[in-house]
Amino acid sequence: MVHSLWTIRPTTMGFDALDLYVDHPHLFTIELRHGGKFTHFQNVRHVKGKLTYIDLVDIDEFSVHELDAMMLELGYMVPPVIYYQFRILNEDLIFGLRALGNDQDVCNLAKYIGANKLIQVYTEHDTTNLVTYFMSPNKSNGVVIEQINEED
């Protein structure tokens, strides 16, 4: 699959993004928490998931389709519906989560890249326990991963 320059990094391998990203304000790292679920409101936590880092993500090229490509590269095919949320720096999971399901949501995320080079992104599969996802404009019932085979 062809994608921009991002690379998936195991959590055991260190990466000092600050030095690299200083001259590249459009690059950032995603701390991707995937395969888990959010608990219900009042004591919101993301449980039973995995942690993966995705480095060298270019906000100018970033989209929900890029997130889909990342999930496909991590081996997710089923379930086909994934809910993406990102967390605002220094905010908790109750008030700091923002939906990441369309271009408008990506533009909202882009506002935080300059001050923060590590963005936490959370996923849920099939259903979500958070109503905040549906507060974003133009929300559908999650993102459906669709693999398109391109012929040369």
Coil vs helix vs strand at 87: strand
Across 74-93, average pLDDT: 86
> What would the pLDDT profile of 57-78 be if each residue is shown by its tens digit?
999 999 999 999 999 999 987 6
In this predicted model, which residue has the larger pLDDT, 86 or 8? Answer: 86
- Residue 42 tokens read as 């009042």
- Whether 91 is in a domain gets the answer yes
* pLDDT of 116 strictly over 90: no
Question: Which range of residues forms the domain containing residue 69?
Answer: 7-12+35-144
- Whether 26 is in a domain gets the answer no
- Whether 75 is in a domain gets the answer yes
**Pairing relationship of beta strands 46-47 and 50-58 according to DSSP bridges:** unpaired
| Total number of domains constituting the chain | 1
* pLDDT of 88 strictly over 80: yes
CA distance 58 to 56: 6
Residue 28: what pLDDT? 92
Give the chain's mean pLDDT. 80
Q: Exposed/middle/buried for 76, CB within 10 Å: 0-12, 13-18, 19+?
A: middle
CA distance 53 to 61: 18
Share of the chain above pLDDT 90, in %: 36
**Pairing relationship of beta strands 7-9 and 50-58 according to DSSP bridges:** antiparallel
- Whether 113 is in a domain gets the answer yes
What is the pLDDT confidence band of residue 127, given thresholds at 50, 70 and 90? confident
pTM of the model: 0.79
Coil vs helix vs strand at 63: coil
* pLDDT of 146 strictly over 60: no
- Whether 61 is in a domain gets the answer yes
- Whether 122 is in a domain gets the answer yes
- Whether 39 is in a domain gets the answer yes
- Whether 140 is in a domain gets the answer yes
